A and B are shown apart, each in its own frame.
Chain A
Amino acid sequence: MTIKNGILTKSTTTSVEHQSVFDQIYGDYWDKVFRLCMGYVNEPEWAKDIAQDTFIAVWKQLPNFRQEAAIGTWIFRIACNNCLRQLERSSRFINKAIDDRAEENNTNGNEDEVNFLYKCIASLNETDRLIISMELENVKQAEIANILGLSESNIRVRIHRIKEKLTEKFKSYER
């Protein structure tokens, strides 16, 4: 098992190889997965928990990984599903927390732009949060479509709409 240009090549897998592939994935994808989770929940500790759950799932599922998709697509798919599982925990909390923050945004003009972007993203609906997070992570639109199980044209339209919304929010933020 080795990773070359984001493609996992399988050979007769040993435990040592499994571990070394996982180490490589963990190093390469932690930041990306963490940012995706931050875009979804906008709470660092919570995002860290979801990212950890994602890598635990990756570790467990790695021996069953079939090369139907690039390893990155597969990891983002697990991360997205883990984010959506948060709906089982406290959906109302997520929405309420985001609403509160959205109000703060309007009243506090000195917020850091990075935080403002993450807050704006966290105020979108669940799937839009995931779509724009992957887009900003430079995941190809065809891969995003594959991860979500939607058509590429649908993804393209949604990304366009989300970016318009974000641009509007930033314009009013900068005023």
Chain B
Amino acid sequence: MSAEDKFYQLWQSKKVIAAPSKDILMRNATSVKRGLRNQLIRTIISIVAGAAIIINKLMTTAPTMITTWIGVAMLFIGMILYIIYSTGLIKILNPAINLPVFEYIQHMQRIREKQRFVQFNIFKVYFLMLSLGFCLYTIEFTRRFSNTVQILIYTVLLCWIFISWFFIEKKRIKKQETVISDVIENFQSLSDEKSDK
């Protein structure tokens, strides 16, 4: 028997795990979680909820100072920017699973590059707008307190911004960047194979 025939024979004689029943398959089909999409949807929902709370606060307190309105505008710009880019990402997340393999690889690479852009650049702008917006927004509501209390409130607020950015977000972003960059690199090396061979 030639080596080639032997390969065919060996390949076909591999013991195959029995196909799960169709019921199990259908149950799995309904519970399939598209991790990235769900994560984005959760983030958008929490942003919209935050916006709703701010709108409610504005309607009940009717602020008079310009800094409050500028703060709110900055908060909303940050939120809207993040939502626009995130929903753009959701749109291209359509699995397109039946594309030819090399087209699919390029599609997945584009998704991941866009995800990297959203997570690392848009998120930075979002965080900056959110922090500045909060600081401006708080001015009017701290006026009723003594200077000492005002200083205390701002110290706490700035500490919160500092800790969230330098200790929580930076760490999270670095971890995600490593994962996404590895994935992009893998897709890129597969794409390169097409032109190499």
Interface residues of A (CB under 8 A from B): 23, 26-27, 30-31, 34-35, 38-39, 44-45, 47-48, 51-53, 55-57, 59-61, 74, 77-78, 80-82, 84-85, 87-88, 91-92, 113-114, 117-118, 125-127, 130, 133, 136-138, 146-150, 154, 157-158, 163, 166-167, 170
Residue B28 at the chain A interface, CB threshold 8 Å: yes
Contacts of A130 on B, CB cut-off 8 Å?
101
Q: How many contacts between A and B, using CB within 8 angstroms?
A: 117
- What are the 7 closest A-B residue pairs judged by CB atoms, nearest first? A149-B100, A136-B11, A30-B19, A149-B102, A56-B29, A148-B101, A167-B3
Contact of B16 among A35, A125, A150, A154 (CB under 8 A): A35
Query: Do A84 and B190 have beta carbons less than 8 Å apart?
Result: yes
Residue B22 at the chain A interface, CB threshold 8 Å: yes
Q: Mark B87-109, 1 if CB is under 8 A from A, else 0.
A: 00000000101111111110010
Query: Do B97 and A57 have beta carbons less than 8 Å apart?
Result: yes
Contacts of A48 on B, CB cut-off 8 Å?
17, 20
Residue B166 at the chain A interface, CB threshold 8 Å: no
A13 and B112 CA atoms in complex are apart in Å by 36
Q: A61-B97, A77-B98, A170-B3 are in contact. Are A47 and B105 (CB under 8 A)?
A: no
Interface residues of B (CB under 8 A from A): 3-4, 6-8, 10-14, 16-17, 19-20, 22, 25-26, 28-29, 32, 95, 97-105, 108, 112, 182-183, 186-187, 190, 193-194, 197
Q: A78-B97, A87-B186 are in contact. Are A158 and B197 (CB under 8 A)?
A: yes
Query: Do B3 and A147 have beta carbons less than 8 Å apart?
Result: no
Q: Whole-angstrom distance from the CB of A166 to the nearest CB of chain B?
A: 6
A139 and B182 CA atoms in complex are apart in Å by 32
Query: Do A52 and B197 have beta carbons less than 8 Å apart?
Result: no
Contacts of B100 on A, CB cut-off 8 Å?
77, 146-149
Q: A81-B104, A85-B108, A118-B14 are in contact. Are A127 and B7 (CB under 8 A)?
A: no
Query: Do B19 and A26 have beta carbons less than 8 Å apart?
Result: yes
Query: Do B13 and A114 have beta carbons less than 8 Å apart?
Result: yes
Q: Whole-angstrom distance from the CB of B144 to the nearest CB of chain A?
A: 52
Q: List 15 A-B contacts (CB under 8 A).
A: A34-B17, A35-B11, A39-B11, A56-B29, A56-B32, A59-B25, A60-B29, A81-B101, A84-B101, A84-B108, A114-B10, A137-B11, A149-B194, A157-B197, A170-B6
A78 and B32 CA atoms in complex are apart in Å by 16
Contacts of B103 on A, CB cut-off 8 Å?
149
Contacts of A27 on B, CB cut-off 8 Å?
19
A51 and B32 CA atoms in complex are apart in Å by 14
Q: Whole-angstrom distance from the CB of B32 to the nearest CB of chain A?
A: 6
Q: Whole-angstrom distance from the CB of A140 to the nearest CB of chain B?
A: 14
